[in-house]
Structure 1
Amino acid sequence: MNEMEDAGADQGICKKSWLVVQALSGASQWLDIFLIFSIPSFLWHAPPADIALVAAAFAIPSLVLGPFVGFLTDRGDSKIIMLYGATARTALTICIAFAPSLYPFLALVFAKGLANTFYWASSSVMTRRLVPAHARTRYYANLSALDQASKIAAPLFAGGLTQLLAMPMVFLFSGAIMAAATGLLPAVLLRDPETCKALEEAGSSEADRPTPAFGLMTRLPRGLLLGALASVAVSALLAVYDPHLAAYLSFLGFSGETYSWIMSSTALGAATAAILVRRVVIGRNSVANLMRGGLLVYSCVLVVTAFVVSYVPQKSIEPFLMALWFVNGFGYELFAIGAGVNLQNLCPRQLLGRVSTSIRSAQLAAVLSFPIFGAWLIAVYGRTAPFVFSAGAAVLLMLAGAALWLRPVSGKV
């Protein structure tokens, strides 16, 4: 009995320590994202084309190499890969602080994007090993709440520090946060009950072939496949309208302050969803219900948004948009928490790194490409067209979701 209690206590400590590591890693990444796009704009006055290059340098490693990094993570020692990835993230973050001009900055950002890809791929595998299935929904809810807090605090923290330091030097604080996470990793990973040998023995012939998970999708559990498709669809819908919100508000005559309040409403809605999931008793089929409920809320709010931007007078629209983006963030986060747990629970262990990075690559491809489609809609049909299109697509998504609701997903979720 004492041995069982000790094992349970050790597992609880491990889960909490892992949560701290991931929360610190997320906080560092939010600081990096803010700085990576702020420094070229404000320090070097880079034109839009160069800002696009920065975005490409940061995203391309995950977009192009993600599935193959996932394969290496599935077949290799995920602990060692994660330690190397965390160490590289720390070192590169510090190096970026001393980049003398735009092009060395771009090279370091690309290298950091590659290190991020290795880190987050191995993170998916280690989460499966360190967090037991019954605790994953609560774990993802806690992590999401902390992540949203970091998302809100990072620009404020960085902005405050720039009053005291040169903007590039703020990267040193991000590096210090990542160094703290890296320092905690060895102690956390030593608590992993599985050995790398056992993990390799659990592999199959599928894991031995360096095929991206796109080619394996038809052989995945139905519940996982549907969750992956829904994740990409939601990311695509978001990318059609959300990048154009600032331009739409400017067109209506609102200031940047209005835009910041609406974005804060989104983060507040997401944090509210995470806290709600954290406090609600987790029951049977709760993961599937989180995904379905989140998708329903998200889709409905897009339909209402299309109505508001089309018919509500401009002088009265601001509070409506703040409320809608709060509910938007709430629904999106419910879905995202459910999708994260669904992936962990249903994905075959020997394919987890590859499948998670392939889904992330597909989402990133949607995030990078669909804003172009949104811009085309604006050019052809007007400023409100992305919102109206997204509402129509959301109706189709709701109909598909309603049909799937009547057919429970396969696998234990």
Structure 2
Amino acid sequence: MTATSIWKNNTFMRLFYSYSISMFGRWFDMVAIMILFSYIWEANPIIIALIPVAYALPHAFLSQFAGILADRFNKVKLMLTADIATVILTLTLLTAPNPWIAISIILLRAIFTVIHFPAQQSLIKHVVKKELIMKAVSLNGSVDQLTKIIGPFIGGALASAFTPHLSLLINAVAYFISALILLSVLKQGQKETTTDTHKKEKVPFWQSWKEGWIVVLQSKIIIVSILFSLISFTGVQMVDAQIAVLLREIAPTRPELVGWIMASSGAGALVIIWFLNRMDQLSSYGLILGGSVFLIGAGFGGVGFLYVGVPSIIPVILGFIAGLGVGLFSIGINYILQKETSEANIGRVSGIFSSITSLMILFAPLIGGMLVNWFDTSTVYQMIGIVLTSIGLIGIVLRKVLWGGKITSNKQQTA
């Protein structure tokens, strides 16, 4: 192991452990809430539909402003405050007497967690050497996918065997441990993660917000990358929730296929992330993001051609292909945010990206649901697949036009 190994970066590894533990707790929490609402309280579908809205709404409208805070103040302190608030509100959630009170607590808790993404992106920029950015991003991506597979499985088993409140309690404990790790980073006396703090404090808040958008709009690479990311993200969100409906039509006696496709998708994402982890940098953004959109389109589009009696291996393979695209997208956009911003503005740019993608979580599933009502489910999957694969191919073929001929990984955008 070389001296420049990411594993030798004590500050990043502490942040990584904090992030990993909190992510596992988050998935325990999400499964517990779904079981609590659906089986314990037997809430009606409208109330259940408000759960993802409560999670996403604060991120959609507050992430841009959280990014400003991440650029101005100590990122570790901000994340520590958010973790402590999450612990308190999760413990409060344990005492919620009905779904409406629980929804209100979930919404309030989501407001505090908004700071995590821009602050985390900014911290990576500050504490990780440029040549190790790819390692840091891929490690975090691996945790994302592993927790999506393992967290719901274990959390669901515990909630079913005992009570969903146990999984909620585990989430509170996870965030408490995460907060202790962040506190150790502060006590360790690492360098202040704000740059030119006094100068920043003189800039009015709204001017700082406007400067973040100027950075985005003046960078062709960032604009094109965000647009391609939103295309793939929107495509996934439009039809992701409809997979159970489609499989119910073509394989009504095999409900296990839903879980198998989800697991194979996570496996595909892990495989591509582990492959990218062996690389030091990405030399072609067009190949990465164009390829991600193409693979997602191929996977989801292929699902639209499934038929009654289809062998189980075929949807599993299609899920794996879509997962490869999701993994490419996840690593690609996070790497680009790191490389095409400066330490002074990465928080704001990351917050803008998080805000836009969270808006898609609010609207894309509704659009997908309306399309399924107008057409049949298979046709919608086929249409989404054709559109995404076509756009992905355009990105690959025209990558030099869209992103430029040569990627300058040391490029710094300043507000």
Whether TM exceeds 0.5 here: the answer is: yes
Alignment-derived partner of residue 175 in structure 1: 172
Give the CA deviation at 1:68: 1.6
**More deviation in 157-166 or 59-68?**
157-166
SS of equivalent residue, structure 2 residue 147: helix
Partner SS, residue 227 of structure 1: helix
Summarize the alignment of residues 253-264 of structure 1 with structure 2, pairs less than 5 Å apart: 253-264=252-263
For residues 328-362 of structure 1, the C-alpha deviation after alignment (integer angstroms, 9 at most, x for no partner) is 01121122101101101112332222221221121
**In 1, distance between residues paired with 2:123 and 2:215?**
22
Matches within 5 A, 1:358-397: 358-397=352-391
Counterpart residue type for residue 237 of structure 1: G
SS at match of 2:309: helix
Matches within 5 A, 1:240-389: 240-252=238-250, 253-278=252-277, 280-283=278-281, 285=283, 289-306=287-304, 308-309=305-306, 313-316=307-310, 318-389=312-383
Pair 1:239 & 2:237 matched:
yes
Q: For residues 149 and 323 of structure 1, what CA distance do their matches in structure 2 show?
A: 19
Seq. identity, %: 19
Q: TM-score, normalised by structure 1?
A: 0.88
Distance 1:133 1:379, change over 3 A: same
Does the Cα contact within 8 Å between 1:299 and 1:397 map onto a contact in 2?
A: no
Query: How do 1:157-172 residues align onto structure 2 when only pairs under 5 Å count?
Result: 157-163=154-160, 165-172=162-169
**Alpha carbons 2:23, 2:147 under 8 Å: kept:** yes
What code does the residue aligned with 1:14 have?
T
What residue in structure 2 maps to residue 117 of structure 1?
114
Query: What RMSD, in angstroms, separates the aligned Cα atoms of the two structures?
Result: 2.7
Q: Is the 8 A contact 2:75 2:193 kept in 1?
A: no
- In the aligned structure 2, how far is the partner of 1:245 from the partner of 1:335? 20
Decide whether aligned partners of structure 1 residues 198 and 265 sit closer, same or farther in structure 2, where only a CA change above 3 A counts.
Answer: same
1:401 maps to 395
- Point out where structure 2 has 5 or more consecutive residues left out of the alignment: 411-415
1:21–1:184 Cα contact (<8 Å) kept: yes
Give the paired residue count: 403
CA distance in structure 1 between the partners assigned to 2:284 and 2:393 by the alignment: 21
Cα deviation for residue 37 of structure 1 reads: 2.2
Question: How far did 1:195 drift?
Answer: 5.1
Q: Within 5 A, what are the aligned runs for 1:40-59?
A: 40-59=37-56
Is the contact made by 1:63 and 1:362 (CA closer than 8 Å) also made in structure 2? yes
- Compared with structure 1, are the counterparts of its residues 10 and 395 closer, same or farther at alpha carbon in structure 2 (3 Å cutoff)? closer
Residue 33 of structure 2 is aligned to residue 39 of structure 1: no
Task: Give the Cα–Cα distance (whole angstroms) in 2 for the partners of residues 404 and 292 of structure 1.
Answer: 9
Cα pair 1:86 1:119 within 8 Å, conserved:
no
**What is the CA–CA distance in structure 2 between the aligned matches of 1:104 and 1:243, rounded to whole Å?**
26
Superposition pairs of residues 127-142 of structure 1, within 5 angstroms: 127-142=124-139
Check whether the contact 1:207–1:351 (CA below 8 A) recurs between aligned residues: no
Structure number having the greater helix percentage: 1
Report the Cα distance in structure 2 between the residues aligned to 1:10 and 1:258, rounded to whole angstroms. 38
Q: Distance in 2 between the 1:149 and 1:225 partners?
A: 30
Summarize deviations over 1:97-139 as a string: whole Å, max 9, x none: 2222212211210111111102333222212112222112112
Residue 188 and residue 214 in structure 1: after superposition, are their counterparts in 2 closer, same or farther (change >3 A)?
closer
Deviations 1:345-395 (A, max 9, x none): 112332222221221121121222122222222222212122122123214
User: Residues 207 and 101 from structure 1, CA distance in 2 versus in 1: closer, same or farther, beyond 3 angstroms?
Assistant: closer
Q: CA deviation at 1:159?
A: 2.7
Structure 1 residue runs of 5 or longer lacking an equivalent are none
Distance 1:163 1:55, change over 3 A: closer
